[in-house]
Chains A and B, each alone.
Chain A
Amino acid sequence: MFNCLLIKITYNSRGLPVRSYRTITAHELMLGRGAECNVHLPDPRLSMHHAVIKLNEDGLPVVQALNGELELDGALVPGAILSYGTRVMVGPYELKVEPAPPDVNLAISLVLAHRLPDDFQDLKSRTHQPLAGASKFKRRLSMFLAAAIALIFLVLPLLQNIVPQIHGAMADLPFGFDRVWSPGRISTSHMHFGSQCFNCHKQPLQKVSDKACMSCHRDTGPHITNPKLQKSAFNAAHRSVGTTRCAECHEEHKAPHALAKQDNGMCVRCHGNIKAINSKTTLSNVHDFDSDHPEFKLTFKTGPNSYDIQRIPQSDKARLVEKSGLKFPHYQHTGKVQGPNGIWDVRELACTNCHMPEGKEMRFKPLSFKNNCVSCHAKELELGSKESRLIVPHGNEQNVFNMLKLYAPKQFSSYLNNLKNNGCAYCHEIKESKQGDAIPWRVTPLQINKDWFSKAQFNHGAHRTQQCASCHKVEESESSADVAIPDRKSCLQCHSGNKTKHKRIASNCMSCHNFHHAHDADVMNPSAKLDDNDVDVLLAMPKESNQ
């Protein structure tokens, strides 16, 4: 049992402390919010039985925590000895040991140090504003985004163009700041240098000039091979086309599309009204293969040289005669035919037995007696009766005549006639010699056409799924003068013009034509090389042609 003076300190409405005294005599003092505690402290922050004050074995008063927490000098403690001046926090209350009057063992004061906060204000402080700091955030985000984009996508690329030092420094790197301006993929062939924009875009604010292209494509010839055509057509063309930069037709940053423009736009700008450009031209106006493309003109050889040619429109049937020098009826050489070994020797002849395709584009191997005819036809002629048979080999007529003179001088003229009317003439055209010639007649030299469409390209490989006879009507042909090249109408059965029409394949200019044989230029006109002064004047008019 011990006496304890309990001083409770409260604050009145003016904020002044009010002390109330009570003396308790007990074995122990129970502190807590429970009603049965002898020190009743009604605060929800305390436990029912928070702590107890009692005397320890040495008779000293101690405070011990029960269900609550005690705090001494800021540290949580299980208990503490209460001597004069000790301050212990019991929950929100401060317990302080006061000087004890003579008749009590212990004097303590209790003051509510931490008041329970006002519920509403407290809750309000824990209720956050919706989207607090939104305008500040928006402003900061705007500034950040604007600055970052302006720096990376505008300032750095521009600086690279304006400040030569930066430009020089970036030139050695794999790509520069202006890489972010690239509008699309570069074609494969330009990829190895294309990551540096300035390789082509030499001058800011200017379109890519031909000079940039020419720094690599030095050997490119003038795109219009014929110097006369250059001269007569191009000043006018320059006017109507507007610009004739390489890049106008060869558009970059469009991969995987082809680098050369495939549409008709540029072609039609001149050829749509070609008479306006050159009044003397024999060409007709073309807009579309389907609508107004003229009849095909076929190229006929007229002599041994490459320039000995004649172009005859397919509509001109009277002139459409091939003078090959051969007598070759196609109808006897297709399908089931009689072989050389009697009536049981029936052979099936297909087109490819003679016309053997060659290469990717399926051009054809040149026809020859040795490779094609001999498989069925005898390789020599027999003259004379059975007893005095004379065998004449296939070959030069001079050799044949010499042989006849040597082995059968008596029958020379009759044999000669024989050959002229029947032997050689069985296959070959015979040409009478002029007066005074050493040889009375000759075999006409062969002129077999190789390229009927010399101004266009026909790719047999692309048509390999078709039967030959669906385009080349040779089954009925009785004469080698017949031309079995399909006309425009038969092309139009499968092909249409610029647009797909009725399930026909869209076919534009570039499907069949090259731009003025651009890539044959150096072959056909080797003197016309480009030099720096030429560029940017429509693909280089050669100097000579201007004079």
Chain B
Amino acid sequence: MQRSNIFDYKNYLYFKIAVVVILVAFAAYLIFEPAVGHYGGSFLGYGLGTVSALMVLWMAWYGVRKRRYRSGGSTQGWLSAHIYLGTAMTALVTLHSGFHYGINIHTLAYGLLLIVVISGFFGNYTYMIYPRQMSENMGEDSLDSLLLRIAEADKLARQIALVMPDAINNTVSRACRETSIGLGLIDQLRGYQPNCPSAQAVEDLTELGNELSPDQRKLYRELYTIMVRRLSLVKRARQDLMYRARLGIWLYLHVPFTIALLVAMTAHIIAVFVYW
């Protein structure tokens, strides 16, 4: 039997709590409406704001908690709560805002919160989807073993290309020399490289093969096979790098914007009480 994961932890305990929290908040929102409409400074607004602020602190504490191996509770449970209650907290904060937005610290704090939550959702998604795709992509291989096989193919291809016309030799050695894997953040994230020298080489070889003498043909076919296999290896390596980059990229936003959110939230609270 499969072990429970972060989503169905303890039979969806935190999911249920989150649903109850959201429902209670919505009910209160519908019942206690001030005459000027909802805003953060009404009694309900202060209540929602206080609860949300405490929840934000607790969510942020997860980042500290997860690096400590000795504190109480399973990390899996904490993460489950972090995800579900974080979502509920977003609903609370939205109600706290009363759907009033402007160019000010209050909306900034809200926007930062949304960035944190949405990046969290994306992280969640990646952890749901990518690990399986990663192992499908790599099979038994590791990235290093892929690279080793590419290098082998390089050597073989170059050997054969030595006796081939200049055009073919240049194409092959350019492919071997210039193929790079995961060049730059954008290529890592999209998982392929436009103008990839390896793909270009396969394409060029297809055309160049027509002008060969019959005794070169046999070698050419061998070379072509090697280059095509090599290209698929390169693609798999890039794909692997893409998964790993996507699994990590959301933290680029999640963590720094959490810090920013904590500062903005502090400013928001101070601002409200300096100018009552």
Interface, chain A (partner B; CB < 8 A): 33, 35, 42-45, 47-48, 67, 118-120, 122-124, 126-131, 134, 137-138, 141-142, 145-146, 149-150, 153-154, 157-158, 161, 178-185, 197, 201, 204-208, 251, 254, 257, 261-263, 265, 508
Contact A153/B271 with A123-B179, A182-B102 known, Cβ cut-off 8 Å: yes
Residues of B contacting A146 in the complex (Cβ-Cβ under 8 angstroms): 259-260, 262-263
Contact A257/B37 with A138-B256, A146-B259, A146-B260 known, Cβ cut-off 8 Å: yes
Residues of A contacting B257 in the complex (Cβ-Cβ under 8 angstroms): 145
CB-contact partner of A184 in B100, B180, B264, under 8 A = B100
Known A178-B271, A197-B275; further 14 A-B contacts with Cβ < 8 A = A44-B162, A119-B151, A124-B147, A130-B182, A131-B185, A131-B245, A137-B252, A145-B257, A154-B270, A180-B108, A182-B102, A201-B274, A208-B276, A254-B37
Query: Is B163 a contact partner of A128 (Cβ separation < 8 A)?
Result: no
- A464 smallest CB distance to B (angstroms): 26
State the majority secondary structure of interface residues on B. Answer: helix
Q: Is B106's CB within 8 Å of the partner chain A?
A: yes
Residues of B contacting A205 in the complex (Cβ-Cβ under 8 angstroms): 273-274, 276
Query: Is B263 a contact partner of A150 (Cβ separation < 8 A)?
Result: yes
Query: Is B248 a contact partner of A131 (Cβ separation < 8 A)?
Result: yes
Q: Is B47's CB within 8 Å of the partner chain A?
A: no
Contact A153/B105 with A119-B176, A141-B256, A205-B276 known, Cβ cut-off 8 Å: yes
Q: Which residue of A lies closest to B181 (CB)?
A: A127
Q: Give a binary string over B126-148; 1 marks a CB under 8 Å from any A CB, 0 the rest.
A: 00000000000000000110011
Residues of B contacting A201 in the complex (Cβ-Cβ under 8 angstroms): 274-276
A-B contact pairs, 26 of them (CB 8 A): A42-B162, A45-B173, A120-B147, A120-B148, A123-B154, A126-B179, A127-B182, A127-B241, A128-B184, A130-B245, A130-B248, A131-B188, A131-B245, A131-B249, A138-B251, A150-B267, A153-B108, A154-B271, A183-B102, A184-B39, A204-B274, A205-B273, A205-B276, A251-B36, A254-B36, A263-B35
Once bound together, how far apart are the Cα atoms of A119 and B255, in whole Å? 38
Q: Which residue of A lies closest to B103 (CB)?
A: A180
Query: Is A138 a contact partner of B237 (Cβ separation < 8 A)?
Result: no
Q: Which residue of A lies closest to B234 (CB)?
A: A123
Query: Is B108 a contact partner of A149 (Cβ separation < 8 A)?
Result: yes
10 closest A-B pairs by CB: A263-B35, A145-B260, A119-B151, A120-B151, A126-B180, A141-B256, A207-B276, A130-B244, A181-B271, A154-B267
Once bound together, how far apart are the Cα atoms of A48 and B152, in whole Å? 23
Q: Give a binary string over B96-112; 1 marks a CB under 8 Å from any A CB, 0 the rest.
A: 00001011111010000
Residues of B contacting A181 in the complex (Cβ-Cβ under 8 angstroms): 104-105, 271, 274-275
Once bound together, how far apart are the Cα atoms of A207 and B275, in whole Å? 7
Residues of B contacting A119 in the complex (Cβ-Cβ under 8 angstroms): 150-152, 154-155, 176
Residues of B contacting A45 in the complex (Cβ-Cβ under 8 angstroms): 173
Residues of A contacting B89 in the complex (Cβ-Cβ under 8 angstroms): none
Q: Which residue of B lies closest to A137 (CB)?
A: B252
Query: Is A183 a contact partner of B272 (Cβ separation < 8 A)?
Result: yes
Once bound together, how far apart are the Cα atoms of A48 and B274, in whole Å? 81
Q: Which residue of B lies closest to A181 (CB)?
A: B271
Query: Is A48 a contact partner of B166 (Cβ separation < 8 A)?
Result: yes
Residues of B contacting A124 in the complex (Cβ-Cβ under 8 angstroms): 144, 147
Q: Which residue of B lies closest to A255 (CB)?
A: B36
